[in-house]
């Protein structure tokens, strides 16, 4: 019996949260302003028509955020709490290792991050499989742009995935076909 191809969704929650708080809101996001992570898995399943394996990487050096972990489990993610030394970027290290391991597997990949620390590993999995990058378009590391010719798909967490309940106060370039003056007057 043939099993369905899977899309592994690797979430760099710290990067998305930091971008949302520091660069978009200018403060710590309130719970209602954070992404609805279940919508991401639903989006990827619809987009590529196959099951997802949601992996949510967390730095948990001193304490495990149990309520968040339980919420992630309830919506279909596998939380991956990590610890390490003070100068180790444990989430980045784990995602890089996971991308390297996925190179040897017959599966598709969606990375949820704006972080350029993953460019090399993303490039290495662009070998004919579907590979996507989800984040905030205007904060995506520019080094990813060169990978579109190799097949990297970009998705915006707010505009494509619709992961937020409220419109974020973002300034972005608007394609004229999407321009709606009622959003500004």
Per-residue pLDDT tens digits for 50-105: 999 999 999 987 888 899 999 999 999 999 999 988 889 999 999 999 999 999 99
Q: What is the pLDDT of residue 50?
A: 95
Q: How far apart are CA 184 and CA 28, in angstroms?
A: 25
**Model-level pTM?**
0.91
- Residue 101: enclosing H or E segment and its boundaries? helix 90-102
Domain ranges of the chain: 7-183
Mean pLDDT score, 127-144? 95
Mean pLDDT score, 17-43? 94
**pLDDT of 35 over the 50 cut:** yes
Q: What is the pLDDT of residue 3?
A: 61
**pLDDT of 130 over the 90 cut:** yes
Mean pLDDT score, 36-58? 97
Q: How far apart are CA 150 and CA 19, in angstroms?
A: 26
Q: What is the pLDDT of residue 183?
A: 79
Q: What is the pLDDT of residue 64?
A: 82
Confidence band (pLDDT; 50, 70, 90) for 1?
Answer: very low
CATH homologous superfamily of 7-183 equals 5'-nuclease (3.40.50.1010)
136-180 pLDDT tens trace: 999 999 999 999 999 999 999 999 999 999 888 887 777 888 888
- Under 8 Å between Cβ of 71 and 13: no
Residue 154: name the closest of 127, 180, 131 by CA: 131
């Amino acid at each position: 019996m043939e099993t369905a191809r899977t899309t592994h969704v690797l979430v760099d929650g710290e990067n998305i949260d930091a971008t949302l708080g520091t660069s978009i809101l200018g403060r710590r996001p309130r719970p209602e302003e954070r992404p609805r992570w279940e919508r991401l898995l639903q989006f990827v399943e619809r987009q590529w028509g196959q099951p997802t394996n949601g992996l949510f990487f967390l730095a948990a050096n001193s304490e495990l955020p149990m309520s968040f972990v339980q919420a992630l489990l309830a919506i279909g993610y596998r939380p991956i709490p990590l610890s390490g030394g003070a100068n180790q970027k444990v989430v980045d290290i784990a995602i890089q290792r996971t991308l390297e391991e996925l190179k040897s597997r017959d599966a598709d990949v969606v990375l949820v991050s704006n972080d350029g620390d993953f460019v090399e590993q993303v490039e290495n999995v662009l070998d004919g499989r579907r590979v996507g990058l989800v984040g905030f378009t205007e904060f995506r590391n520019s080094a990813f742009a060169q990978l579109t010719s190799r097949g990297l798909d970009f998705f915006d967490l707010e505009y494509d995935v619709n992961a937020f309940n409220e419109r974020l106060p973002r300034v972005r370039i608007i394609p004229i076909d999407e321009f709606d003056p009622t959003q500004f007057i």
